[in-house]
Structure 1
């Protein structure tokens, strides 16, 4: 009987161990990642890639930090490796196209970028790809008219592209300001889009220079293209030093006279009321003592 009881206890303990192991294994399923690739070319120079990684938490996508993604050009091999990037707290990571894939880059006018994540303890493996054609923007100016030309490389010739939407704006610290009331423009059969500069009187610093920018954003064929040009169409701005003048932002001894009069008047009025009250209290006590 005792032996039967010991065997039963051992089987029960073993069953509990397996049940606990299965419960623990099923309690932490791996999450799925969403990987996206964005292609950028600024001023027709070296292209760059921006990788965004996110996952869905409680029905909403959230950026994922610390994910290492391998990037390749056209095919997943050692000879076409662009590099390995790790996402920041915004779930983003960027990299320029290296010289090591220059030979592969020159073999075609259209390329596919591959992003691979091998998976870890928290997330399943993931992949993404982006196919873009090689293109550029040429920006010219004449008589306060700005012309942006979009060209695509076909075979060995830069060919104008029709129907591409782009923005023509002035580059400012707070963002890009359209050169007129039209927010976007579309290229014609010659690949050109023209805009009249109507931001007259725009401050341009000491030299009066403004930076014009033409950009194509999130195009399905060409990605993100931008080009800049400096023009002398702004108003020269010379800062005036008012440090030794009486202004609201100066030191206390340089405060405006009218402000000093108001503050001193308030000060004298408050202290005058307090002194008047003290004298009246003393007077009342004297009268009370005589009675």
Structure 2
């Protein structure tokens, strides 16, 4: 039984060199944006709403895009923006996909339910620019947000739902109720009603969904549990799903393979079928 819920969700204290990751992400992301801007294949700060953080970046492949891939960042809905993750578009872009990366308003300025609606607007704005199938991926809190897009009560309208081909939740949080027991809930402001309504594991998936639940094998037990939880429940509700625990990966480096077009993670996201029996 978990006694310390703050510890259960604390990643940095268990990752060697944790403080080095954010500046490295920022450097790698800036370098990728510079290269893509120089090749005229980047559109930065596209507005999708009226708020100051209602902006997305769009990176295009060489030639016509196979479809739209969207990556939603994590940070417990309280930290970061799109500018730290641009390099993670590299794998899907090299495979011929256009990749959108949105920012969103952070807690406590917004509640998690409001952020869910913002991400829905961001996906719609990107989909207006890029034709074809849509594949979503998100890390940590972003994993929560992209799986909410795939719920029957999610914010995406029917035309977008018909285009949604696959959702990849990487170290995602799918049952938000335990977070009410953490100190960070002073910022998240989750109550029982919102935690239930915003938990993908307590909702139903869209029909015919391909779901990929991906987590690092070296992550905290609670993240591994949350990963298996959604894969298990949604399989029983008709989703075609695959659940993967990536060997040797922890919460901060589990996303690194998104920059490699030949990685198993990129293949599972934008390549062939991710579903398993």
> What's the TM-score, normalizing by structure 2?
0.22
Greater strand percent: which structure? 1
Q: Which has the larger radius of gyration?
A: 1
Higher-RCO chain (CA-CA 8 Å, sequence separation at least 6): 2
TM-score (norm 1): 0.22
Higher helix share: 2
